[in-house]
Amino acid sequence: MITRRHVLKTAGGSAIAAGAAAIGVGGAGGTQSAAAATPSSEPVPGLDPVLPQGLRDAAVMDKLPGKVPLIKLSYRPPNYETPVGYFNSLFTPNDAFFVRYHLANIPEVDAASWRLKIGGEAAEKPFELSLDQLKSDFPAAEIAAVCQCSGNRRGLFPSHVPGVQWGYGAMGNAKWKGARLKDILERAGSTKDALEIVLDGADGPVIDQTPDFIKSLPIWKALEENALVAYEMNGAPLPHFNGFPARIVIPGWTATYWVKHLTSINVRKTPFDGFWVKTAYRVPSGKFPVVQRFVSQETAVNTPITEIMVNSIITSLADGQTIGAGKANEVKGIAWDAGYGIASVEFSSDGGKSWGAATLGEDAGKFSFRPWTCSFTPPKAGAYTLMARASNKIGQTQTAELILNPAGYNHNVIHRVSILAA
């Protein structure tokens, strides 16, 4: 149990740039519970001034077992945000990767006794796997992919939207390794009339009235080459708070489908009617420019959230930071989308009046963060508004105006950072 709290005020202007260095990077996390979490007295890097004042006053750097200090937004269940400074690296360290749970009962899973059960009405040959069998019975596949909470940047909505008030750090980029979901389903003998697969994990509700976190996926999405049952993250076993010993990885779709601590996969002939699909994680129909839809779960008014929207942020400079007038600065950032590939990033230093092309960095794969850089020399002392705007290879571009929706999903407004040159 956390026995003390340190209430922290707004971070200083240089917090994002200094964030990773200030809080350090340690080793990968293990299978431990949240009970031993201890807060720190370090400043909170990267809190946007648009975030609600109450959240800004209460935000605290908190260290879960196996993690460096992260920005704690709730403790029960644990929801911890990655400081933006970590995104200056292409891959987000395991111990700095964000933590997102809906339910507070999160058992420490024993790898030796863990079993994954595969079955359901549309599976002809139900079976189960141990962790060793998952690793040995199926060819291993590895993919770089962004895991992003559907509500990332929810706290930046101009009016309050219920839910965790995330800033920019409810996401991370990692190399995920595991067995292809399609290979597992092939062994189960999925029938021709299979429609969806239903995924459950070991975490659960504290009280019976709370619906268990169970998700479904359209069968066609589960059969894609890139869908994994992952057991490694950045070359190490999954940390406890990121789904040990195995989790679902659905590159390009938001993290609501990336079920952690996976225990069962059931193949269905009919649409799943669980709360977290039928009621939660839905957006108004036609609101967002998505290509891939979850048609079997659509209604006349809303549809399940699916794809990540094209997006980018500036990672090396923070709101309110002071830099030298007349001195060249390398501005860094990242861009990402649903897997169509980043085509370009544009940069503006005058609040969007003019734009120039940024230089794209390493391409680690179409589902990965894509780093970008550009040079900026403030010609004189004064205030500057820096902006970044990404476009992907199918012609989608970050929006200039927020697309409002009741749950605060898919925030991909062009990022703005106000700095001073002196």
List Cα–Cα distances, 392 to 170, 318, 343, 397, in angstroms.
21, 25, 5, 7
Residue 14 is predicted with a pLDDT of: 32
pLDDT interval class at 8 (50, 70, 90): very low
The one-character DSSP state at 381 is S
pLDDT attached to residue 21: 30
C-alpha 381/C-alpha 385 separation (Å) is: 13
| Distance (Å, whole) CA 151 – CA 197 | 24
Which secondary-structure segment (H or E) carries 178? strand 171-180
DSSP state of 296: G
What gap in Å lies between CA 14 and CA 324, rounded to an integer? 13
DSSP string of 219-268, one letter each residue: HHHHTSTT-EEEEEETTEEPPGGGTTT-EEE-TTB-GGGS-SSEEEEEEE
Q: Is the dihedral of CA 68, 69, 71, 74 positive or negative?
A: positive
Q: What is the pTM of this model?
A: 0.90
Query: CA of 376: how far to CAs of 67, 196, 352, in Å?
Result: 34, 49, 14
What's the pLDDT band for 18 if we cut at 50, 70, 90?
Answer: very low
51 three-class SS: coil
Q: What is the mean pLDDT of residues 220-230?
A: 98
The stretch 192-202 carries a mean pLDDT of: 97
pLDDT at 43: 55
**What pLDDT band is residue 59 in, cutting at 50, 70 and 90?**
confident
Question: Among residues 268, 272, 222, which one has the least CA distance to residue 120?
Answer: 268
Alpha-carbon gap, residue 339 to 365, rounded angstroms = 8
- Looking at per-residue pLDDT, the higher value among 24 and 269 belongs to 269
pLDDT tens sequence across 339-367: 999 999 999 999 999 999 999 999 999 99
What's the confidence (pLDDT) of residue 55? 79
List, for residues 63-82, the tens digit of each pLDDT value: 999 999 999 999 999 999 99
Percent of the chain with pLDDT over 90: 85
Residue 54: pLDDT band with limits 50, 70, 90: confident
Please state the φ and ψ torsions of residue 148, each to the nearest 5 degrees: -130, 125
Token digits of residue 100: 């997102």
Domains of the chain: 15-100 (no CATH), 115-304 (3.90.420.10), 311-421 (2.60.40.650)
Q: What is the pLDDT of residue 42?
A: 57
Name the least confident of 14-28, 52-66, 363-377.
14-28
- Of residues 408 and 52, the one with the higher pLDDT is 408
Confidence of residue 116 (pLDDT cuts 50, 70, 90): very high
Q: Which two tokens stand for residue 412?
A: 């991909």
Q: How far apart are CA 295 and CA 43, in angstroms?
A: 45
**pLDDT for position 29:** 32
Beta strands in 250-369 (DSSP E): 262-268, 282-284, 302-304, 311-314, 322-323, 329-336, 342-348, 356-357, 359-360
